């Protein structure tokens, strides 16, 4: 140890500091601005921080006292089971229509293979981003207002939701394809539809199938609540029981929803894995 | 007394699995630059990692600086590890951190929690890091990210990090096998120069026999978990080498 | 070509038979799917819809026309709810990040405290968070803490936990163990190993995910008002209740604008980080 301690290091020819003139100052200012915004938010929204932490024990307490035991009889009732089946039907139909509509839109919105970058590309992008920006419950309410209560409105809302969801994934997938075959087919004089069919589609077929299944999975999750706003399916029961404060029934419905969503997730995961292996 | 004493060291990774080291004995003294050579699979890397217990030995004794390594608890092990510099085959730098931070991280064993949270290292550590970076020839790359450097430069960062610790022994685990031959010689030369300057003994595992004979003053030859040769590099004959590498199938 | 070049007559026929049965199989799947969709269509659309009450194309056109007469007079009242929505999304994302920390720690196979208890628990919490819709989370929290922005923040946070912690856990599982070994070798303690060896490796992934989730959370916060949690959703609900469809359109436009701003901010933020 003594030898090491006695080592004589010449002082280095320069100094070093972590601080770099413009970058460090800017970074510091940005962090400060974010913190200030967070603080302002807490003040502006009147958030009592002790209530934030108290919320979770309180939720647990309410679940344990008011929501327990779940009213199993209510959810095994024939009418409720029928509404579950209808929810499933809506998600299938909405998912299918959404996927069908989003494939051409994704084609337009894929920068590398779109028909025209001036007109078709912005149109496709706008349609997909527009569908995504508005939450599915708002779509549901809008469709219910125009078309009346029922599953037609719910299905259409799910369709728009799926266009936004699947359209983005589809167009991302299309933008990642190998352009070689596309150029080859263009050079033999194929029209855009033929290029899509022979050069693009074979490359993305498996990925598209996976995305379609995933879309259904997500659509089913959304379908469980469109009924809450008049879109048909099991969500309507949720609304009715919540408004009448029938907590044990709400608990039973929630458990059914969680169970079904888990089943859908496991099922879609299994199917996607199987299809991924066919690649 | 020798700085490092290894007695009857045996290692197997799983209780029922094959033994990697089958009973090794050797010492390392203050002025040793000791190379461990042998065919791949002989257990060289395992041996190096046993010294600072990155790999747990299963039998035998390792005594370093007069302390029994195997008996140490977590805190004592950390205090021992900070006296041991280690240089790795794949450099083991944190790619997304700057060269400076990588070098400074060598001092972590001596840095308190608050300082290490804010990455606020003491002045003398920063000066030492700058000095070492000058010595290894990286003065122009202090603020670059580690993954922006070439292989040889990265290993120089690794050397500077190890020397930041003010080590009392250096462990080198194949420091040159990820580098090309010319750079390998430069790096080994640099390590030898710095080891001599800071008077640190070195235990180095290396597969390039020629390079080992050129750089080191002592050779330990290993084969299949046993020690086959131990002596000065000058005294090594061709038949010793043939014996060590007898089982290597090429 | 290896299959098309049969070694014997028998092999070639077996190949043809296999191919034929596969084609039949595919057709069966397509036909089954079509039948299922047709049944869904009949049951949900034809059977359930009250075509009389909808009032034909004219009625629909009339309602739509009312949506297109945008009520610009509402614009000044939009500023505060829009700000509330943005703040709700931001605070919800922040809280979600904090809640994600233990979940990601439990659910990452290589750092989990116990493979038999905490690992499945972490995985279960991830799935639970994602499988409950934000509306349902909001309903539960409105029941627990009452009306206001707080239940919205909590709901957004709970819904974010699943995605953030899943990505974080995957990033932790995929780290390069070599730098971690190096920090251990210089004598670093647990905290230092984590802070110097693991965090720099996973930070870019985590920040990217947080920005992505924040963007989505703006969307989610915009509907929290529908179940009593303030923001633009509450305004939307009120305009809907007053049948002021022109005002509804304006609120929807405000949501668009807010999300456009969010997209721009997150684009630049992502560029700055990576």
Give the residue from B159, B191, B207 where a domain finishes. Answer: B159
Interface of A with C in 102-161 (CB under 8 A): 130, 132-135, 137-138, 141-142, 145-152, 154-155
Complex prediction ipTM: 0.87
Q: Are residues C100 and C122 in the same domain?
A: yes
Nearest residue, CB atoms, A9 vs list B100, B131, B142: B131
Cβ burial of C56 (10 Å; 0-12, 13-18, 19+) is: exposed
User: C57 lies in which domain range?
Assistant: 9-67
Note the pLDDT of residue A4.
Answer: 43
Does B144 touch chain A if contact means CB atoms closer than 8 Å?
no
Mean per-residue pLDDT, B49-70: 88
* Alpha-carbon distances, residue C15 vs A279, C4, C10, C18 (angstroms): 20, 8, 9, 5
Q: Is C138 left (phi over 0), alpha (psi -120 to 50) or beta?
A: alpha
Q: Are residues B177 and B155 in the same domain?
A: no
Q: Are residues B25 and B131 in the same domain?
A: no
Q: Which residues of C touch A54 (CB under 8 A)?
A: 145
Q: Are residues C236 and C103 in the same domain?
A: yes
Q: How many independent structural domains does chain C possess?
A: 2
Give the residue from C49, C67, C85 where a domain finishes. Answer: C67
Do the beta carbons of residue C124 and residue C62 sit within 8 Å? no
Q: Is residue C118 part of a domain?
A: yes
Fold of A72-278: MetI-like fold (1.10.3720)
Structure tokens at A205: 């077929």
* Residue B169: closest CA among B7, B4, B36: B4
Res. C2 pLDDT band, cuts 50 70 90: very low
Q: How far is B35 from chain A (nearest CA, A)?
A: 22
CATH code (residue C243): 1.10.3720.10
Q: Are residues B172 and B79 in the same domain?
A: yes
The answer to whether B93 contacts C182, with C-beta atoms less than 8 Å apart, is yes
Q: Which residues of B touch A3 (CB under 8 A)?
A: 198-199
Which residue is closest to A5 within chain B, CA to CA? B166
Q: How far is B237 from chain C (nearest CA, A)?
A: 35
Interface of B with A in 181-210 (CB under 8 A): 197-200
Q: Which residues of C touch A90 (CB under 8 A)?
A: 40, 44
If you count residue pairs, one on A and one on B, with CB atoms under 8 Å apart, how many are there?
38
Percent of chain A at pLDDT above 70? Answer: 95
User: B227 lies in which domain range?
Assistant: 1-83+167-250
Q: Are residues B234 and B179 in the same domain?
A: yes
Q: Are residues C182 and C138 in the same domain?
A: yes
Q: Is residue C56 part of a domain?
A: yes
Q: Is B230 left (phi over 0), alpha (psi -120 to 50) or beta?
A: beta
Q: Which helix (H) or strand (E) holds A49?
A: helix A49-65
Q: Residue A186: CB partners within 8 Å, gap ≥ 6?
A: A195
Q: Are residues B74 and B6 in the same domain?
A: yes
Q: Are residues C30 and C89 in the same domain?
A: no
| Residue B98, beta-bridge partner list | B145
Q: Are residues B94 and B123 in the same domain?
A: yes
| Cα angle value A173/C221/C265 (rounded, 5°) | 60
Does C111 touch chain A if contact means CB atoms closer than 8 Å?
no
Q: Which residues of B touch A4 (CB under 8 A)?
A: 166-168, 198-200
The answer to whether C179 contacts B86, with C-beta atoms less than 8 Å apart, is no
| Residue B59, beta-bridge partner list | B10
SS3 state of residue B37: strand
Q: Are residues B174 and B79 in the same domain?
A: yes
pLDDT in tens, C18-68: 888 888 888 888 898 888 888 888 877 777 776 766 667 777 888 888 888
Do the beta carbons of residue B35 and residue B219 sit within 8 Å? yes
Interface with chain C: mutation pick from A41, A43, A64, highest number of C CBs within 10 Å: A41
Q: Print burial letters for C239-252: b (CB count within 10 Å at least 16), e (below 16).
A: bbeeebbbbbbbbb
| Alpha helices per DSSP H over C75-229 | 79-107, 118-131, 134-145, 149-173, 177-185, 190-192, 199-224
The domain locations on chain A are 72-278
| Residue B172, beta-bridge partner list | B87, B204
Q: How many independent structural domains does chain B possess?
A: 2
Q: Are residues B79 and B144 in the same domain?
A: no
Do the beta carbons of residue B241 and residue B70 sit within 8 Å? no
Mean per-residue pLDDT, C141-170: 91
The answer to whether B92 contacts C181, with C-beta atoms less than 8 Å apart, is yes
Structure tokens at B131: 């000095």
Does B97 touch chain A if contact means CB atoms closer than 8 Å?
no
Q: Are residues B97 and B78 in the same domain?
A: no
Residue B125 has pLDDT above 70, yes or no: yes
Token pair 């959810």 is at which residue? A75
Give the residue from C43, C67, C91 where a domain finishes. Answer: C67
Mean per-residue pLDDT, A128-138: 91
Q: Which helix (H) or strand (E) holds B161?
A: helix B151-164
Give the residue from C19, C47, C67 where a domain finishes. Answer: C67
Task: Output helix, strand, coil percentages for chain B, rounded to the nearest 5.
Answer: 40, 25, 35
Q: Is residue C239 part of a domain?
A: yes
Q: Are residues C57 and C80 in the same domain?
A: no
Q: Is residue C3 part of a domain?
A: no
Give me Rg for the CA atoms of chain C. 27
Q: Is residue C227 part of a domain?
A: yes
Q: Is residue C4 part of a domain?
A: no
Q: Which helix (H) or strand (E) holds A122?
A: helix A120-133
Q: Are residues B177 and B145 in the same domain?
A: no
CATH code (residue B242): 3.40.50.300
Do the beta carbons of residue A136 and residue A226 sit within 8 Å? yes
Q: What is the pTM assigned to this prediction?
A: 0.84
Q: In angstroms, rounded to a whole number, what is the distance separating the alpha carbons of residues C161 and C86?
A: 18
Q: Is residue C116 part of a domain?
A: yes
Q: Are residues B234 and B136 in the same domain?
A: no
Do the beta carbons of residue C125 and residue C164 sit within 8 Å? no
pLDDT in tens, C214-273: 999 999 999 998 888 888 999 999 998 888 888 899 999 999 999 999 989 988 888 887
């Amino acid at each position: 140890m003594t030898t090491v301690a006695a080592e004589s290091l010449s002082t280095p020819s320069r100094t070093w500091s972590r601080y770099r003139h413009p970058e460090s100052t800017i970074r510091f200012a940005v962090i400060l601005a974010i913190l200030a915004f967070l603080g302002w938010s807490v003040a502006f929204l009147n958030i009592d921080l002790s209530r934030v932490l108290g919320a979770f024990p309180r939720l647990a307490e309410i679940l344990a006292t008011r929501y327990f035991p779940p009213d199993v009889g209510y959810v095994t009732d024939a009418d409720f089971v029928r509404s579950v089946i209808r929810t499933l039907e809506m998600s299938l139909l909405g998912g299918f229509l959404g996927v069908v509509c989003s494939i051409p839109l994704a084609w337009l919105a894929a920068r590398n293979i779109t028909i025209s970058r001036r007109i078709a590309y912005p149109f496709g992008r706008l349609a997909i981003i527009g569908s995504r920006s508005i939450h599915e419950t708002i779509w549901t309410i809008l469709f219910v207002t125009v078309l009346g209560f029922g599953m037609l409105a719910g299905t259409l809302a799910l369709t728009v939701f799926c266009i936004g969801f699947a359209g983005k994934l589809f167009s991302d997938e299309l933008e990642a394809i190998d352009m070689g075959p596309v150029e080859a087919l263009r050079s033999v004089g194929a029209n855009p539809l033929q290029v899509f069919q022979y050069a693009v589609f074979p490359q993305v077929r498996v990925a598209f199938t996976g995305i379609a299944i995933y879309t259904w999975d997500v659509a089913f999750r959304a379908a469980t609540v469109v009924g809450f706003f008049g879109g048909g399916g099991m969500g309507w029961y949720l609304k009715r029981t919540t408004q009448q404060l029938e907590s044990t029934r709400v608990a039973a419905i929630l458990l059914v929803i969680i169970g079904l969503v888990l089943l859908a997730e496991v099922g879609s995961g299994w199917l996607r894995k199987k299809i991924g292996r066919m690649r | 007394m020798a700085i490092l004493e290894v007695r009857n060291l045996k290692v197997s990774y799983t209780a029922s699995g094959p033994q990697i080291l089958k009973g090794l004995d050797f010492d390392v003294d203050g002025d040793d630059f000791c190379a461990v050579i042998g065919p791949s699979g002989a257990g060289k890397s395992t041996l190096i990692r046993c010294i600072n217990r990155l790999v747990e030995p299963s039998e035998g004794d390792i005594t370093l600086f007069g302390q029994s390594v195997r008996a140490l608890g977590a805190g004592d092990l950390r205090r021992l590890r900070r006296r041991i510099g280690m240089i790795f085959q794949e450099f083991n730098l944190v790619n997304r951190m700057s060269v400076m931070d990588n070098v400074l991280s060598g001092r972590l064993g001596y840095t308190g929690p608050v300082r290490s949270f804010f990455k606020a290292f003491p002045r003398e550590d920063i000066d030492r890091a700058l000095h070492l970076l000058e010595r290894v020839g990286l003065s122009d790359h202090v603020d670059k990210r580690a993954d922006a450097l070439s292989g040889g430069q990265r290993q120089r960062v690794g050397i500077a990090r190890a020397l930041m610790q003010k080590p009392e022994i250096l462990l080198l685990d194949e420091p040159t096998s990820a580098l090309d031959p010319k750079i390998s010689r430069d790096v080994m030369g640099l390590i030898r120069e710095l080891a001599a300057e800071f008077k640190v003994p070195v235990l180095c595992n290396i597969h390039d026999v020629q390079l080992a004979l050129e750089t080191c003053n002592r050779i330990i030859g290993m084969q299949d978990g046993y020690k086959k040769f131990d002596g000065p590099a000058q005294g090594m004959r061709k038949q010793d080498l043939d014996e060590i590498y007898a089982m290597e199938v090429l | 070509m290896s299959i098309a070049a049969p070694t014997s007559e028998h092999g070639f026929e077996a190949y043809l038979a296999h191919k034929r049965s596969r084609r039949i199989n595919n057709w069966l799947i397509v036909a089954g799917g079509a039948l299922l969709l047709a049944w869904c269509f009949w049951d949900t659309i034809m059977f359930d819809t009250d075509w009389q009450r909808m009032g034909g194309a004219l009625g629909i056109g009339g309602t739509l026309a009312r949506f297109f007469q945008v009520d610009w007079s509402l614009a000044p009242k939009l500023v505060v709810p829009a700000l509330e929505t943005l703040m709700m999304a931001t605070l919800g994302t922040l809280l979600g990040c904090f809640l994600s920390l233990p979940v990601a720690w439990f659910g990452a196979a290589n750092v989990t405290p116990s493979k038999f208890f905490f690992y499945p628990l972490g995985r279960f919490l991830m799935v639970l968070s994602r499988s409950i819709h934000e509306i349902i989370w909001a309903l539960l929290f409105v029941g627990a803490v009452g009306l206001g922005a707080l239940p919205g923040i909590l709901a957004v946070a709970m819904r974010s936990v699943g995605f953030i912690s899943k990505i974080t856990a995957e990033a932790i599982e995929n780290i390069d163990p070599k730098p971690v070994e190096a920090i251990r070798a210089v004598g670093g303690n647990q905290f230092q190993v984590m802070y110097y060896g693991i965090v720099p490796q996973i930070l870019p992934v985590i920040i990217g995910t947080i920005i992505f989730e924040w963007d989505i959370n703006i969307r989610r916060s915009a509907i929290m008002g529908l179940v009593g949690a303030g923001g633009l959703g509450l305004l939307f609900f009120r305009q809907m209740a007053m049948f002021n469809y022109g005002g509804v359109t304006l609120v929807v436009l405000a949501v668009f604008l807010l999300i456009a701003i969010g997209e721009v901010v997150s684009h630049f933020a992502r560029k700055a980080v990576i």
